[in-house]
Amino acid sequence: MNKKPRVVVGLSGGVDSSVAAHLLLEQGYEVIGMFMKNWHDESVTISNECPWMEDSTDAMLVAEKLGIPFQAIDLSEEYRERIVDYMFSEYEAGRTPNPDILCNREIKFDIFLKAAQKLKADFVATGHYCQKGSISKEDSTVYQLLAGADTNKDQSYFLCQLSQEQLEKALFPIGHLQKSEVRAIAKKLDLITAEKKDSQGLCFIGKVRLPEFLQQQLKPKKGRIIQIPEELSVFDRYQVPAGVSLDELDDATLDGIAFPIHYSQSQGKTIGEHNGAHYFTVGQRKGLHVGGTGKPLFVIATDTRENIIYTGLGEEHPGLLRNALFVKNDQIHWIREDLKLEIGQTARYEARIRYRQPLVGATLIQRENGLYVLFDSPQKGIASGQFVAWYQGAECIGSGTIF
């Protein structure tokens, strides 16, 4: 008698993972539900937005209803080391981290996967809206990370740092469905999570007050808010020179186009005060508390060393827009290792720098010092520390941390 393949489902207490577990049962898998407890400190969580105890109970009730074994695992120590400490250090350095992407790479498809393998699981599954494909190549299989069928919920961007080894062991049972279909299935099964709202905020922590969260380690520190006039952003030097092929650009020109813009205090005027440059990120509009500017004010750069925030007026301020970005060699990640660019090679893809952002055409140029991503149109609020992901159609090919 053939043994059923065993899969451990990360039951979060939400509707997506609940339906994922049900679908796997229907497909003939032996299913185990596991709840990950990754956060204890509720002092910074906005009340009742994502209380882990309620989520754990809901996950347990779903497992009971589906008739599958259930257990909880405490990964809070690993989560603090790999995600929270990373967040603090990134903000302190003036960069903008994406904990959800790291959480998938470091927790769900690493620590959690290893815990599942101790239970002799063949796979782990989550309620992500994405799909998995595969291509046979000679003696091996190449796995593909594909967008979810629900374009409004596609979460492939959050999984853009997964490796071939992680994808091999991953299942995404609801990726072919629309959110409305997932809720309809949960309702038909009378699952407690059928009408439950989607969780928001930091992966596993919930909706937090970010300044209070950061203040656990990064202390408030008064500094100046400086407004930079449009004409001083020198936007022209961030354009590709007319009539020049991208292949012909030298590294110095690419650096000028792709590296973050740096301002000096003498370029603008002081218009207000803030409580710490490390609490702000490029593209941010809220939290500046500066009135009487007419147009909305946006953060266009931060200097955590001098504790200064540079701002610009309006969404079209040139300091808010960039045509390109750079990824250091050690931060480049190819999901499709067989498509990796060698030094001197270029390739055309579509790319995005944040979740749900429409994909835009981009040219990738691999040079000795790293990867340059040049967009077909200027991108708003490119922030160091965030991730750029590039796609070929519905397939996510690779990603990198923005310099």
Which are the catalytic amino acids? 103, 203
Residue 29 CB neighbour total at 10 angstroms: 22
Residues paired with 224 in a beta bridge = 273, 308
SS3 4: coil
Full 3-state SS string of 314-334: CCCCHHHEEEEEEEEHHHEEE
275: closest CA among 251, 302, 241, 296?
Answer: 302
Rounded Cα distance, 91 and 179, in Å: 33
Contacts with 94 (C-beta within 8 Å, 6 or more apart), sequence order: 277, 278, 302, 303, 304, 305, 384
And the tokens for 234?
């020198």
365: closest CA among 387, 343, 390?
Answer: 343
SS3 45: strand
Rounded Cα distance, 403 and 387, in Å: 9
Rounded Cα distance, 278 and 89, in Å: 10
Rounded Cα distance, 143 and 135, in Å: 6
